[in-house]
Structure 1
Amino acid sequence: MTFHVRRRAAHARAAYRPSAIVAIPVQDEGVDLGNILAALGAQCDLHGHALAPASVAVLLLFDGCSDARWERMETLRGSHMPSWIAIDGDLPEASRHAGGARRAALLKALALAAPETTLIATTNADSMVPAMWLARQIDWLARGCEVVMGMAQRPTFDDMDPALESQHRLEMVYARWLDRIDAMLDPIDHDPWPRHRTPSSASLGFKREALQAMLPLPAPAHAHEQALIQRCVTLDLKIRADANLQVHNPSLAALHAGGMRSNRPLPFEPLVHAVTRSILRGQLRARHRAGTLSAETLTGSFAMPTEHAHAALKMPTFGRLWHEVEHSSPLLQHTPLLPSHLPREIEAALAWFNACMAGSTGPSTLAPAKRQARKVASLDLS
């Protein structure tokens, strides 16, 4: 991708050798960059001690910055600021969107990485990152993870219609239950509970070598953070979805509030379908890891066409294999959930989880979900 550079500026601290580089695309002229830069200049380790000033660098990538904005940015210097490099230029017309800007910023950060650079993180220009944001990500990388996926804080909307606010709260509760059930049915050693499944542009971090392995980076106009994480999944990169690594981002909160409608389809599935998906993925992952997966398993237990089953088995990673299975198996077709069904699905999820923890069949209200789960769990995946 071509990025025509028009001008550059820098603020370098002494002995500049960054172990972490933060890539920030800047497209909104009205954002005060002083807040995010000050927060990144005040990062500390997991014991609360300030990080060495030279260990953090920020890459600011502007897509057509005004002269006035550039002059304001040039004043953001001093001992409370991290080292930063600002690049102003023009993205190609086809890439002048959030995904194109994020990709350009990550590529510039990758090009700036030194041998000492462990982490390349990215957030938004109006984010408010916590003091240990970088340290938590570096710690997960040190434990063997390759990608760290934080969360945008769940906002409260004082001016939201009460019915929509109630729906928003129900969505949060149901998403949390689905995450908990998924972690139980498809456990992953490097991504234990609490974890989540909601990528956010407010908090993504990559090991330098992992970001290099992801090239070429995807850059769709919409949902680019999901596309980046999906790229990681297909490569079987070790993703840590840290539910406790939360970043406040006002623009994302406003976008979520503006997009809420009481009758819109939700990104979730009814419990019975979510349980089925988690069980099948967990069992397929175990078979793939053990090397005992066969075409007969995919055609029989997953009802996949024979040619699709053989094609899936040729995939070089589990992530790519699962992608093929999800798209080919009639058992795994997405079933949308209506907002009006959220209360009953939350009740079912709570009862299902409690029944599983107690080792009982649970209340009769959960019979359909339990029957489906028992049916799936008893499949012979040999």
Structure 2
Amino acid sequence: MTASTGHLVSHLGVVVPAHNEERHLGAALEAVGTAAGVLQGQRPGLGVRVLVVLDACTDLSASVAGRFAAADPRFNVLQADFRSVGRSRREGNRAVLAEAGALGVPEKEIWIANTDADSRVPAHWLTRQLELAEAGADAVLGSVEPDSDGMDTGLLQRWHARHRLQDNHHHVYGANLGVRASAYLAAGGFPATESGEDRSLVRKLRSGGAVIAATDSNRVITSGRLEARAPRGFAGYLLALALDPRGAES
């Protein structure tokens, strides 16, 4: 796809916050690496960097991320003690922007794709985000689907009954969210909160007139666990849905 005038992306960063995710992190980073490879196969000159933000990890997450960083120069690791997914995303995005800025890349040409350490992106994840970005989107809201492996069948059915996986959906997921740097900065970036940072950013983007594309064309698989890493996050919602099918807020 040819980029519309003024919408070209020349640098892409991926931010993956992680807190004690040794079980899922390897698969998550493998999937991101595959998506980056597919994109660069189509766009050899495009700069791609992946930043894993290890937030207060006490398990083997650092070892997992370190293996990727040692084997692939596109991967970097940021060690932190934020204890906040919002701050992890904020600082990760800030680091990506700082690196691209040092290379002289204009903010409007930087795209940041955000996902989670317990999620697996599809091979065309980044390619599709850039297609929409270069067609004029300031942000891309992708869909997610719980991993059915080990998840209660009834709970999975209730989740699907509440979530229509289609284009122009109204959902916001930090595990599948891309944004142009210029729009991100104009909206003030992710707030440094314990949860809800993704919805807060999108509200500000919308209020500022950003062009937002909501799509089901690059669906991400995310963990169906019920043990929450962040208050009011995806796992917390699944737990609420399991305990009270009528009262959980999507």
**Which TM bucket (shorter chain)?**
0.7 to 0.9
CA distance in 1: counterparts of 2:24 and 2:44, whole angstroms: 24
Whether 1:259 and 2:240 are equivalent positions in the alignment is yes
Whether 1:135 and 2:127 are equivalent positions in the alignment is yes
| Higher helix proportion (structure 1 or 2) | 1
Whether 1:88 and 2:95 are equivalent positions in the alignment is no
Residues 142 and 263 of structure 1: CA distance in aligned 2, closer, same or farther (over 3 Å): closer
Q: Which residue of 2 aligns with 1:73?
A: 65
Q: Which residue of 1 aligns with 2:222?
A: 249
Shift of 1:228: 1.4
Q: Which residue of 2 aligns with 1:119?
A: 111
Shift of 1:243: 1.9
Residues 69 and 168 of structure 1: CA distance in aligned 2, closer, same or farther (over 3 Å): closer
SS state at 2:119 partner: coil
Q: Is the 8 A contact 2:14 2:115 kept in 1?
A: yes
CA distance in 1: counterparts of 2:175 and 2:28, whole angstroms: 11
| Letter of the 1:265 counterpart | G
SS state at 2:120 partner: coil
Q: Is the 8 A contact 1:54 1:83 kept in 2?
A: no
CA distance in 2: counterparts of 1:111 and 1:161, whole angstroms: 44
Q: CA RMSD in A?
A: 3.1
Q: Which residue of 2 aligns with 1:211?
A: 184
Q: 1:28 aligns with which of 20, 25, 36?
A: 20
Identity score, percent: 24
Shift of 1:204: 0.7
Higher relative contact order (CA 8 A, sep 6+): 2
Count how many residue pairs are aligned between Structure 1 and Structure 2.
Answer: 225
SS state at 1:248 partner: strand
Residues 73 and 211 of structure 1: CA distance in aligned 2, closer, same or farther (over 3 Å): same
Q: Structure 1: which 4+ aligned runs deviate by more than 6 Å?
A: none
CA distance in 1: counterparts of 2:89 and 2:44, whole angstroms: 27
Deviations 1:274-315 (A, max 9, x none): xxxxxxxxxxxxxxxxxxxxxxxxxxxxxxxxxxxxxxxxxx
Q: Is the 8 A contact 1:32 1:126 kept in 2?
A: yes
Q: Which residue of 2 aligns with 1:148?
A: 140
Stretches of structure 2 lacking an aligned partner (at least 5 in a row): 1-9, 228-234
Q: Is the 8 A contact 2:240 2:247 kept in 1?
A: no
SS state at 1:76 partner: helix
Residues 28 and 51 of structure 1: CA distance in aligned 2, closer, same or farther (over 3 Å): farther
Segment of structure 1 superposing worse, 26-35 or 229-238: 26-35
Listed as ranges, the matches of 1:185-196 within 5 Å are: 194-196=167-169
Shift of 1:104: 1.9
TM-score between the two structures when normalised by the length of structure 2: 0.75
Q: Is the 8 A contact 2:25 2:64 kept in 1?
A: no
CA distance in 1: counterparts of 2:58 and 2:158, whole angstroms: 40
CA distance in 1: counterparts of 2:59 and 2:91, whole angstroms: 21
Q: Is the 8 A contact 2:22 2:60 kept in 1?
A: no
Whether 1:105 and 2:78 are equivalent positions in the alignment is no
Deviations 1:80-102 (A, max 9, x none): x46112121332xxxx2222222
CA distance in 2: counterparts of 1:251 and 1:159, whole angstroms: 6
CA distance in 1: counterparts of 2:225 and 2:217, whole angstroms: 18
Q: Is the 8 A contact 2:13 2:96 kept in 1?
A: yes
TM-score between the two structures when normalised by the length of structure 1: 0.51
Whether 1:55 and 2:47 are equivalent positions in the alignment is yes
Shift of 1:157: 7.0
Stretches of structure 1 lacking an aligned partner (at least 5 in a row): 1-17, 180-193, 269-382
CA distance in 2: counterparts of 1:253 and 1:203, whole angstroms: 19
Residues 28 and 54 of structure 1: CA distance in aligned 2, closer, same or farther (over 3 Å): farther
Q: Is the 8 A contact 2:32 2:120 kept in 1?
A: no
Shift of 1:220: 3.0
Shift of 1:60: 1.4
SS state at 2:178 partner: strand
Whether 1:42 and 2:27 are equivalent positions in the alignment is no
CA distance in 1: counterparts of 2:12 and 2:29, whole angstroms: 14
Residues 200 and 69 of structure 1: CA distance in aligned 2, closer, same or farther (over 3 Å): closer
Q: Which residue of 2 aligns with 1:231?
A: 204
Residues 155 and 87 of structure 1: CA distance in aligned 2, closer, same or farther (over 3 Å): closer
